[in-house]
Structure 1
Amino acid sequence: MDTLQTLLISGAVAIGAAAGQPGVARADVTKIVLVHGANVDGSTWRDVYDNLTADDYKVTVAQMPLTSTEDDIAAVQRIVDIQDGPMLLVGHSYGGVVISEIGVDPDVSGLVYVAAFLPDAGESGGSLLASMPTEFTPDKLTVFEDGHYLIHEEAFLSVVGNGLSEDDAIYVARSQAASNSAILEYRTRSAAWTEKPSWSIIATLDRTIAPDLQRQMSQRAGSTVVDVENGHMLPMTNPAEVANVIRQAAEAVE
């Protein structure tokens, strides 16, 4: 047997042994695209990003303009288009609307919703909120003439940011990205969860999107459901738990 053949056989044996060893992760999907919610930006994903990249996942954080859902879809689609191969889309809050549209892309293998909307075709975030109201009400908002809005600081701290440390809650409240109110009126055209596997992390103490609404949408979608006992900002308050569900999804999809 010549040297080259010996090296090839030895290498194949070594790879097979490594794949069979417990503790060696062999995720089918290694590319993750994270999509933030309204009134925030991609920095809310930082701890989840760090957690996943430590395990050699390729993680990309999309940044949306929040000027309209059409603009947001276009921004995330650009990120999807530059990925090489299959990926997971992960959406927090309003980001669930966006990934439900883009998730029909053939390179998307699965969807992970984090305290998020899982709209069916024809539904909007606003109509879903109205179906099961919470403390997140119009009087908590300042709406400007151009249609953009900001959440009052006190309301952000008590309604959106419950569960965050005081310093983090104040920082996120004061670094808000103004969002156009039209994003809550946008009616989805596609519901990717009807054809792709999905996971849903429910924030059981959420004061923004009612936990019962999250559960109802998740059950309708046939999602694998995981409860986390905290408020709406799970990517910041519980990054390890969120990252763990994303890992489970990456290992489960084909």
Structure 2
Amino acid sequence: MPNLKTLLISGAVALGAMTAQPGALLADVNNIVLVHGANIDGTTWRKVYDSLADDEYSVTVVQLPMTSVEDDIAAVRRIIGIQEGPMILVGHSYGGLVIGEAGDDPNVRGLVYVAAFQPDVGESTGALSASMPTGFTGDTIRIFEDGHYLVNEDAWLSFVANGLSDEEALFTARSQAASNLSIFAYESTTAAWNDKPSWSAIATDDGVIAPDLQRQMAERAGSTVVEIENGHMLPMTSPDEVADVIRQAASAVE
């Protein structure tokens, strides 16, 4: 039988090994799927991706086609389907609508909304925006004959990219990916947050989705709320804070 000293030494070694593990190895959920917003692409997640990957989370970034909400949901479901085990699903801005639809998959254990729409069944992002308007209105976009749109540069810099450096703001304005206008009218058919735990990172200086609207949506969903003092592009302006919210979610679910 081992003596007390041997047990204490063994326990100390085991504890030291455990405390030395990076965050992902102590979390119940290791897979993170990141979904970007409209008129941007997955590169907006790069700093959040790097932070989580450094902690050995398995992070995947979805690239949305933005041709329709249905196509975007399908793109997220493809990525969900190739994950091995449970995951946290994260959506920025319009991506919040998409994760609410795709998040009904049983392997999605929690949802994180980042300066995002969090619609209930039957709600559209257009109607939600109209309920608490910001300066980001219909006359700030240019609509093309095929139904896609881009945000006017001045409006992008003022309402979307506030908080970014001048150089980054201008680059994001001039590297927009056109989105289909139909995304504003789409009425949600599923709201996964009704059945799953959720977190909401609210951008207190958001010029696209009114901060009070973000708070209202998070409150009715029972989301865990973290307020971050910055503009709409939180994945780029406050990546460490956003990554911390995702870590909190990953450690809270099974």
**Partner of 1:152 in structure 2?**
152
Question: Using the alignment, how far apart are the partners of 2:129 and 2:52 within structure 1?
Answer: 31
**2:55: which partner in 1?**
55
Amino acid at match of 2:246: I
Matches for 1:79-228 after TM superposition, within 5 Å: 79-228=79-228
1:70 and 1:145 map into 2 onto residues whose CA distance is 20
The equivalent residue for 1:4 is none
Superimposed CA distance per residue, residues 180-210 of structure 1 (whole angstroms, 9 cap, x where no aligned partner)? 0101111110110010000000000001000
CA distance in 1: counterparts of 2:184 and 2:65, whole angstroms? 14
The 3-state SS of whatever aligns with 1:46 is: helix
Q: What CA distance in whole angstroms lies between the structure 2 residues aligned with 1:92 and 1:202?
A: 11
Write out the 4+ residue segments of structure 1 that deviate beyond 6 Å after TM superposition: 12-15
Shift in alpha-carbon separation, 1:198–1:15, aligned structure 2, 3 A = farther
Unaligned runs of 5+ in 2: 2-9
SS for the counterpart of 2:130 is: helix
Q: Aligned partner of 1:214: which letter?
A: Q
Partner of 2:7: none
For residues 19 and 127 of structure 1, do their structure 2 counterparts lie closer, same or farther at Cα, with a shift above 3 Å needed?
A: farther
Q: Distance in 1 between matches of 2:168 and 2:72?
A: 25
Distance 2:60 2:27 in 1: 17
- Which one-letter code corresponds to 2:94 in the other structure? Y
Query: Alpha-carbon deviation of 1:20?
Result: 5.4
1:49-96 superposed Cα distances (whole Å, 9 cap, x missing partner): 000000000000000000000000001100000000000000000000
> Post-superposition shift, 1:110?
0.1
- Separation (CA, whole Å) in 1 of partners of 2:103 and 2:190: 9
In structure 1, list runs of 5 or more residues that go unmatched: 2-11
- The aligned amino acid for 1:187 is E
Aligned to 1:65: 65
For 2:200 and 2:99, locate their aligned partners in 1 and report how far apart those are by CA, in whole Å.
13
Q: TM-score, normalised by structure 1?
A: 0.93
Q: TM-score with structure 2 length normalisation?
A: 0.93
The 3 A distance-change label for structure 1 pair 104 and 170 is: same
Decide whether the 8 Å contact of 1:18 with 1:24 is kept in 2: no
Question: For the structure 1 residues 215 and 13, does the alpha-carbon distance in structure 2 shift closer, same or farther, using more than 3 Å as the test?
Answer: same
Q: CA RMSD in A?
A: 1.8
Classify the secondary structure of the residue corresponding to 2:80: helix
How far has the Cα of 1:152 moved from its partner?
0.4
